[in-house]
Chain A
Amino acid sequence: MTDAGFILGSYVITFGSILIFAWRTIRSGKSLSDGMSDEEKPWL
């Protein structure tokens, strides 16, 4: 594969950004929901 560094780099940046954003979202959801009852979570 020619220009492998640029091509693989673009996949690493894309999937890495997705992973970091998803992980941060899930983590903040878990820490915020700790202090709340189920009645305050209408999605449950």
Chain B
Amino acid sequence: MELWGMPLSTSLAFYVLAATVIVAIVWTIVTGLKNRGKDE
């Protein structure tokens, strides 16, 4: 779980960052599919 020798308390920041980007991608795709063809 530790990254580049950083303690977990600091490494966790990188996991949160990666999760945020993944959620943003999924959210964009899902809302895009839901609104397909609609006038937004």
The answer to whether A and B come from one shared complex is: no
